[in-house]
């Protein structure tokens, strides 16, 4: 009886150990999920001496598991192996990266094999599924690089030839090369748009002051003209791209832009006179009701003060431009009366 109890106890302990390591049955192992290799990394142009980055994602199926990464050259010779072990993994996608320094390697096509293992019964067991991928490693001499010619100008070489008459993105920045392959600086017209390149050849975006004038280049580098809303403010650029300040006529309306180039709205004192610009920036003329008060602006947009003879009637505007109405006012030595419409009843 004691022996039977001992055996039962041993079996119970073994079962508890097995369960603690999250062992699955053979059917679960057969459907073990694959590791996902990020093609954006493997499909890059790699050259001998580069660090090859193998970015991967996978979903753990077991509590304790490990991934073995093997890299083989074109002759199927193992050139690198590394293991990543994950203990007490929780369910859910995981992302990680394996890096290999290709210094001294031979150019060619390399394959990546990922083997997965899960832990059960005190042993690492190989999962029946593998993930494979490949990448190309080119000769280091073909790696794109800058070349400065004897004339001091720069060219960019890719493979065995120079980039010519085209755009090229280098280290996240855009450059343009002429028909002889020289890096361009200053103003360049490409297609129907103008672009500007700094002295180091980098295409400019955003605000740029050039020869004392301000220009704006959109996120694609194209010089802007006409009306442009930038950071919530409106600006106007003439046909040459130069930002305008002061008075600008657009369509049938006049607009005013302050020294920063931003379009003015509301009240603005200009050269000693007051003007009013509506919410669209257009200068107002004639009768305007603003904040419950009536004002009059002449044909030039200047706010009226004092007496105004309009349609055979007389009106009077205070120094702040507001029309008098429903009141009497002594002006000079005479008292005048103004009705609800602002008309003087005893001019």
Cα 249 from chain centroid (whole Å) = 34
Indicate the pairing of strand 51-58 with strand 36-37. antiparallel
Half-sphere exposure of 153 (CA within 13 A, CB side): 10
User: CA-CA distance, 107 to 118, in Å (whole number)?
Assistant: 35
User: CA-CA distance, 204 to 25, in Å (whole number)?
Assistant: 61
**pLDDT band at residue 89 under the 50/70/90 scheme:** low
Q: Which of 16-30, 201-215, 261-275 has the lowest mean pLDDT?
A: 16-30
Question: Quick one: pLDDT at residue 134?
Answer: 93
Question: Quick one: pLDDT at residue 7?
Answer: 42
**pLDDT band at residue 264 under the 50/70/90 scheme:** very high
Task: Calculate mean pLDDT across residues 285-297.
Answer: 98
Instruction: Please say whether the beta carbons of 173 and 202 come within 8 A.
Output: yes
Burial class for 299, CB neighbours closer than 10 Å (0-12, 13-18, 19+): exposed
CA dihedral of residues 217, 221, 224, 227 (deg, nearest 10): -70
Task: Calculate mean pLDDT across residues 72-82.
Answer: 96
Predicted confidence (pLDDT) at residue 25 exceeds the cutoff of 60: no
Task: Calculate mean pLDDT across residues 326-336.
Answer: 96
Q: What is the mean pLDDT of the chain?
A: 89
**pLDDT band at residue 94 under the 50/70/90 scheme:** confident
Closest among 183, 177, 103 to 151, alpha carbons compared: 183
CA dihedral of residues 309, 312, 316, 319 (deg, nearest 10): -20
Q: Which helix (H) or strand (E) holds 297?
A: strand 293-297
Task: Calculate mean pLDDT across residues 125-136.
Answer: 87
Question: Quick one: pLDDT at residue 63?
Answer: 79
User: CA-CA distance, 4 to 282, in Å (whole number)?
Assistant: 100
User: CA-CA distance, 156 to 170, in Å (whole number)?
Assistant: 9
Closest among 345, 341, 285, 294 to 322, alpha carbons compared: 294
User: CA-CA distance, 139 to 127, in Å (whole number)?
Assistant: 36
Does 11 or 88 have the greater pLDDT score? 88
């Amino acid at each position: 009886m004691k022996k039977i109890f001992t055996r039962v106890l041993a079996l119970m302990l073994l079962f508890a150990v097995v369960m603690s390591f999250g062992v699955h049955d053979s059917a679960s192992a057969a459907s073990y999920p694959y590791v996902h290799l990020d093609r954006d990394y493997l499909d890059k142009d790699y050259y001998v001496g580069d660090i090859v980055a193998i970015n991967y994602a996978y979903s753990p199926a077991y509590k304790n598991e490990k991934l073995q990464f093997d890299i083989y050259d074109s002759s199927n010779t193992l050139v690198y192996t590394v293991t990543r072990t994950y203990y007490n993994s929780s369910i859910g996608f995981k992302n990680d990266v394996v890096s290999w320094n290709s210094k001294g390697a031979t150019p060619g096509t390399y394959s990546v094999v990922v083997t997965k293992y899960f832990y059960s019964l005190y042993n690492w067991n190989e999962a029946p599924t593998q993930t494979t991928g490949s990448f190309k490693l080119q000769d280091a001499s073909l790696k794109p690089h800058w070349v400065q010619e004897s004339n001091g100008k720069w060219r960019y070489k890719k493979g065995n030839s120079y980039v010519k008459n085209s755009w090229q993105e280098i280290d996240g920045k855009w450059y343009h090369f002429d028909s002889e392959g020289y890096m361009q600086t200053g103003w360049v017209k490409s297609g129907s748009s103008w672009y500007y390149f700094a002295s180091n050849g980098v295409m400019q975006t955003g605000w740029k002051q050039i020869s004392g004038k301000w220009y704006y280049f959109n996120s694609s580098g194209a010089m802007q003209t006409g009306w442009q809303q930038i950071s919530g403010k409106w600006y106007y650029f003439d046909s040459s791209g130069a930002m305008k300040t002061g008075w600008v006529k657009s369509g049938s309306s006049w607009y005013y832009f302050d020294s920063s180039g931003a379009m003015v709205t509301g009240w603005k004192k200009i050269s000693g006179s007051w003007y009013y610009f509506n919410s669209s920036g257009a200068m107002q003329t004639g009768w305007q009701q603003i904040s419950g008060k009536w004002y009059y602006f002449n044909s030039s947009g200047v706010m009226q003060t004092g007496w105004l003879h309009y349609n055979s009637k007389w009106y009077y505007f205070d120094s702040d431009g507001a029309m008098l109405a429903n009141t009497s006012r002594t002006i000079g030595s005479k008292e005048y009366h103004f009705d609800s419409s602002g008309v003087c009843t005893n001019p």
